[in-house]
Amino acid sequence: MTGKMLRFPLALLGAVLLSSAARAQDDSDALVAATRQLDSGMTLARQQIRASDLPGALGTLERVLFAYPEAAPPHLLYASLLCLLDDRPGAQLELGLLAGKPIADSDWAAVAAACGPVPRPAPPKRGKGR
């Protein structure tokens, strides 16, 4: 092939690659935006779980936990995912971070369904009335 004949396929390949890169950047931007808010980050993680994208859901939850380290629901969902990925010690470590935090029974039921019998973190201590 001559140089002129190679230019068109190379230009076409370049356009396709740039278009793919732009779409990937848009997807990344949407992912980052979704994980800035607790609710939208949890929704995205659940969508990824339903789509069997467990590694993607772990990454999403890690970004949510970075922004909301004190929130119990993302820790519980993260622990559930670790159990589903056969990382029970990691799940137990994650659950240990919730000692003293209130955990809704429905949230705990999801953990028990994924992990089987695991010790529930201690509930918050009640203060003595004065």
Sketch out the chain's domains with CATH numbers: 26-115 (1.25.40)
DSSP 67-79: H-TT-HHHHHHHH
What number is the average pLDDT over the span 6-14?
60
pLDDT in tens, 52-96: 999 999 999 999 999 999 999 999 999 999 999 999 999 999 999
What number is the average pLDDT over the span 25-29?
54
Q: Residue 130 has what pLDDT?
A: 45
Q: Is the pTM of this model over 0.85?
A: no
Q: Residue 125 has what pLDDT?
A: 81
**Residue from 106, 83, 113 nearest 95 by CA:** 83
- Please report which confidence band the pLDDT of residue 129 belongs to, taking 50, 70 and 90 as the band edges: low
Q: Residue 112 has what pLDDT?
A: 95
